Amino acid sequence: MQLNYQPIKLSFLLLASLMLIACSSDDDSASPTGENNDQSSYILNIENKGEFSNTFITDTEGSSWNNMAAVYVNSDGIEGLSISLSDEDKNLYLTGFIKMNNGKAMPLTDYDSEENNPENSSALAITFTGFTGEGYISRSGTVTVKNLKTYFATEEGGLASLDLILDGIFDNSATEINESIKITGTLKFRIGAGAYLPQ
């Protein structure tokens, strides 16, 4: 199986660049307050692996290895969400880019299929046992975005608070055999006073 990791690499770059913009901002009025100064959390049911869940406090300084972050991008004809989940305690890491069209998330698709257009598709990658462990990349399914809000906004986008509902099929990226698993769950990304902003 020949996998295309370009969308995943793009998501890392977008996430890093926009978070650096947020860190360097001198506009204190752009800081999130009130209901969004909350806790990020996730709960994922992974076929044959069980349930994974955790909660991250976002109003205190967080570890770069235990956090959740999302960036909204709307630039050069590309609208979407770059997301990242890093849970060292559970050895679970997820990253990807949710392509959007007029505010609606595009489905997860098989990037190896000539019938699918990556520009109109979302892509996620996940590992369960650390960066050198079992890795899977999305093949099909749906992602639903709810309660989207942006902060530290620039012309290119901004940090995002949202609820993401996932229902997808993922292929093992370490083997040519089509080993697929189903992953469902909800990820709640929230913005606090510093947990998402690396120093």
Residues 59-118: pLDDT tens digits?
544 455 688 999 999 888 889 999 999 998 888 999 999 999 988 999 998 655 555 555
Choice among 11-15, 98-102, 163-167 with the minimum mean pLDDT: 11-15
**Number of residues that make up the chain:** 199
pTM above 0.85, yes or no: no
